[in-house]
Structure 1
Amino acid sequence: MNGPSIVTLTMNPALDVTADADEVVHTRKIRCRAERYDAGGGGVNVARFAHALGMPVQAVFTAGGATGSRVMDLVDAEGVHAVPVTIAGQTRESFTVNERVSARQYRFVLPGPALTPEEQQRCLDALRRAAVSARFVVASGSLPPGVPPDFYQRVADLCRETAALLILDTSGAGLRQVTGGVHLLKPSLRELRECVGRAVETECEQEAAARELIDRGVTGAVVVSLGAQGALLVTPDEAERFPAVPVATVSEVGAGDAMVAGITVALARDATWKQAVCYGIAAATAKLQTPGTAAFGRREVDAHFQDYVCAGRRCT
């Protein structure tokens, strides 16, 4: 296998703009400062974070207009192997405001440009070329306007044809239309509820819902991200809850993508499922301590992982 072990797909990337404001008040001009710009969108973030963890990765993503060019430049600047697919529309922006008076974070997300069927096919073609030499494909993020809800099932079928293992992190109709071919599904609690169409309040309900997706053949394993409550791993043979690590949070943006990156990198290094989830939590913890969607350092993630194991978490 000559290419990178991990390839990511982002159909709806974004230029992430983050800034501070004293207070967010309606109808007033909100004076912002300390702005920063990061390449964003689920798969782009996963690629950036996997690269920060020392793993070779290719990032396939759409790029259009001046915003798309800026995202491409930012990805290149971080040393990630970018595979941009040019589109006619303008790559979207996402805007996050950190309100200093309350320590709250406000996130404004645009829908993104509509993609034509021809642009969608070029994305699949680019993914196929990259996936033939990859061990894992991570498809992450929302589907933009114009893309049918069964698109990620087409990605799953492509991965089966190329023998790449698909890790999927998405929401809405794009998630509900997936019927099989996923190696690992990483829904949030809300997304898990949408998948099964019922409440999943208790841990038993969450485990039952995740196991239902496995039994239906949708996925081989499920990791449910639970925010401050950590994560739940469910495989055909086991289920285990993993607590989060309490830290002072700088920015929550991209923490879920960091978890996916950590899990995928660990699996690419032949870790067990439990070890991979522990490493994913360590990566998410490191991400919470960086501004905007800035990447972290591998040293910080490895330190969190060791602390997590030493604190009594069994990751074998």
Structure 2
Amino acid sequence: MPDIVTLTINPAIDLWSEAEVIRPTHKIRTWNDLYDPGGGGINVARVLTNLGADVEAIAIAGGVTGALLGELIEEARVRYRLVHTDGRTRINHVVFERRSGAEYRFVLDGPRVSPAEIEACLRAVAEVPCRYLVASGSLPPGVPATVMAEIGRIAAASGARYVVDTSGEALRAALAGGGVHLVKPSLGELQELVGEDVSDPAAQDAAAMQLVETGRADMVAVTLGPDGALLASRDGVLRKAALPVEVRSTVGAGDSFLGAVIWSLARGESPAEALAWGVAAGAAAISQPGTKLCTRENVERLHAPVRPATPS
């Protein structure tokens, strides 16, 4: 029985490339191409594996690209289980333009998933008892947002702590279903959830605490980009400033943050310590090129000098 299970309903093969300049109609020659298994839950599982956690990744995959996804997950040394879909697993492409330093992200919808395939996926999740069940990433075409609440019911039935990282209707459905232990919205997603401007820190704190006080989540971790992150619980709000590192790619920073927070909480550490580990992992991820995520060595190196998070 794994300690942590991650679920990725819409996984991807993440391709990252470098180009000198991107121009319309011209052939864009790329180099330093990197292929990695992707999708929120798979990325979180990669981070947890790097940190030494006992984790299993469950994902829906199909076609020749689904086979390649499995091969890439194996190369990442992540324990996994793939649930078959008739569609082909999507391929996302991120191109780093060297001349401008900008990243261009091309993200596909993913294959249409049938109700029968979703049911098979939910059965697979229910068959693997765990302490933490992490549902992370977008939903593909054909999957109703209410599936996020159904996953929460599976977690509750098995006694697992339910962790959610998604967006839009899927995020609202997960929170409306109740039983969410930890939710990780971005700042934009938090604003959409509460329907209010959250541009200043006081408003951010109040919005995160609103989700806690209304019982929609036990803890709310909000990634704030260059301003770091906050973590709200019934004990109040903690904040951690971003760490000064060279930004090489922002791909997977949020997944690295979430993976480290879960890893810390699963070890019985405090929310303050979990937040510190999360910010260190996010910084470690953005200092890596392309779709490479944080390593334990880099996370520990960045975490060591960080002072504990302080109340907001």
> Where on the TM-score scale, by shorter chain, does this alignment land: which range?
over 0.9
Once the two structures are TM-superposed, the CA of residue 195 in structure 1 deviates from its matched residue by 0.9
Look up the match of 1:198. Answer: 196
Select the residue among 134, 137, 150 that pairs with 2:133. Answer: 137
Distance apart, 1:26 and its partner CA: 2.0
Query: Once the 2 structures are TM-superposed, how far is the Cα of residue 252 of structure 1 from its aligned partner?
Result: 0.7
Query: What is the CA deviation profile of residues 143-202 of structure 1, one whole-angstrom value per residue up to 9, with x for unaligned ones?
Result: 111111111111111111110001111001101222111001100011111111222111
- 1:82-121 mapped onto 2 (5 Å cutoff): 82-121=80-119
Identity of aligned residues (%): 41
**Unaligned 5+ residue runs, structure 1?**
none
- Alignment partner of 1:8 is 2:6: yes
* Letter of the 1:65 counterpart: G
State the match for 1:296 in structure 2.
Answer: 294
Q: What letter matches 1:168 in structure 2?
A: V
Question: Within 2, Cα distance between the matches of 1:293 and 1:51?
Answer: 16
- 1:291 deviation in Å? 1.9
Q: Which moved more, 1:208-217 or 1:254-263?
A: 208-217
TM-score, L = length of structure 2: 0.96
Q: Is the 8 A contact 2:249 2:288 kept in 1?
A: yes
RMSD: 1.3
Matches for 1:156-235 after TM superposition, within 5 Å: 156-178=152-174, 179=176, 180-235=178-233
What TM-score, normalized to structure 1? 0.95
Name the structure 2 match of 1:68. 66
Bigger mean CA offset, 200-209 vs 179-188 = 200-209
CA displacement at 1:314 relative to structure 2: 5.4
Question: How many aligned positions are there?
Answer: 309
Asked if structure 1 preserves the Cα contact closer than 8 Å seen for 2:135 and 2:164, the reply is yes
Equivalent residue letter for 1:138: V
DSSP-derived class of the 2:245 partner: coil
Per the alignment, residue 148 of structure 1 pairs with 144
Stretches of structure 2 that go unaligned for 5 or more consecutive residues are none
Give yes or no for contact 2:60–2:85 (8 Å, CA) kept in 1: yes
Aligned equivalents of 1:68, 1:293: Cα separation in 2: 18
**Residue 79 of structure 1: which of 47, 64, 77 is its match?**
77
User: What residue in structure 2 maps to residue 262 of structure 1?
Assistant: 260
What do the CA deviations read for 1:28-70 (whole angstroms, capped 9, x no partner)? 2211111110000000000011000011110000111111111
